Structure 1
Amino acid sequence: MTIFLYKLLLGFIVGSLIATFSYTTNLLTKSGAFAVIFIAGVVCGFGPWFTWLLLILFFGSSGCVHLAKKVMKIAKIDSIAEKGHTRDAWQVLANSLPAIISLVLFYYTENQLFMIGYVSAIAGATADTLGSEIGILSTQVPRSIITLKPIEPGLSGGVSILGSVASIFGSLLISFAFWLFFGWNHFSQLPTSVMIILPCICGIVNSIVDSLLGATLQAKYRCVICEQLTEQKKHHLQPSKLVNGISWFSNDWVNFFSGSLTVLLSWVIIFYMY
Structure 2
Amino acid sequence: MLDIQLVVAVLFILVISFVGWKMKSLTGSGAIGAIVVGLSIYLGFSIQGLLLLGCFFVSSSLLSKFQSVKKSNLHDILEKGDRRDIVQVLANGGVPAILSLVQATGQSFGQVVLLGFCISIAAANADTWASEIGTLSKQNPRLLLTFKKVERGTSGAVSLLGTCAAVVGSAFIAIGAGLLFSLSWYPIALVILFGFIGNLLDTLLGQTIQVKYICTVCGKLTEKQNHCHNRGLKMKKFSFLNNDGVNFLSIALATMLGLIILS
- Same fold? TM cut 0.5: yes
CA spacing shift, 1:161–1:104, aligned 2, 3 Å = same
Residues 208 and 245 (structure 1 numbering): CA distance in 2 closer, same or farther, change over 3 Å?
farther
Describe the superposition over 1:199-252 as per-residue Cα deviations: whole angstroms up to 9, x where unpaired.
110000000000000000000100011011111011012111101264641001
Q: 2:227 aligns with which of 225, 232, 235?
A: 235
- Residue 200 (structure 2) aligns with: 208
The TM-score, its normalising length taken from structure 1, stands at: 0.90
Partner residue, 1:16: 14
* Matched residue count: 260
How far apart, CA to CA, are the structure 1 residues paired with 2:48 and 2:141? 36
SS of 2:213's partner is: strand
Amino acid at match of 1:113: V
- Does the 8 A contact of 2:209 with 2:240 survive in 1? no
What aligned pairs does 1:63-78 form with structure 2 within 5 A after superposition?
63-70=61-68, 73-76=69-72, 77-78=74-75
Q: Distance in 1 between matches of 2:159 and 2:232?
A: 27
What is the TM-score normalised by the length of structure 2? 0.93
CA shift at 1:17, angstroms? 1.1
Report the Cα offset of residue 180 of structure 1.
Answer: 2.4
Relative distance call for 1:268 and 1:2 in structure 2 (3 A) is farther
Q: Give the whole-Å Cα distance in 2 for the aligned partners of 1:40 and 1:68.
A: 25
Does the CA contact (< 8 Å) of 2:30 and 2:89 recur in 1? yes
Q: Distance in 1 between matches of 2:8 and 2:239?
A: 40
**Preserved CA contact (<8 Å) 2:40 2:100:** no
- Find the partner of 1:80 among 73, 77, 80: 77
> For the Cα contact (< 8 Å) 2:71–2:135, is it kept in 1?
no
Who is 1:257 aligned against? 249
Correspondence for 2:212: 220
Moved more, 40-49 or 150-159: 40-49
Q: Against the structure 1 CA distance between its residues 120 and 245, is the aligned structure 2 distance closer, same or farther, given a 3 Å change threshold?
A: farther
Q: What's the secondary structure of 2:235's corresponding residue?
A: strand
Q: Is the 8 A contact 1:224 1:240 kept in 2?
A: yes
| More displaced stretch, 260-269 vs 74-83 | 74-83
Mind listing any 5+ residue stretches in structure 1 that lack a counterpart?
none
CA contact (8 A) 1:11 1:37 kept: no
Alignment deviations for residues 8-36 of structure 1 (CA, whole Å, 9 cap, x no partner): x5444222211211111111111101101
Unaligned 5+ residue runs, structure 2? Answer: none
- Distance 1:89-1:245 versus aligned 2 partners, 3 A rule: farther
Higher mean Cα deviation, 155-164 or 39-48? 39-48
Distance 1:16 1:48 in 2: 15
> Contact 2:30–2:85 (CA<8 Å) still a contact in 1?
yes
What is the alpha-carbon distance in structure 1 between the residues aligned to residue 9 and residue 86 of structure 2? 18
Distance 1:259 1:60 in 2: 19
Alignment deviations for residues 9-64 of structure 1 (CA, whole Å, 9 cap, x no partner): 54442222112111111111111011011111111122232111010000111111
1:171-216 Cα distance to aligned partner (Å, 9 max, x none): 0001011112331xxx5xxx4212x100110000000000000000
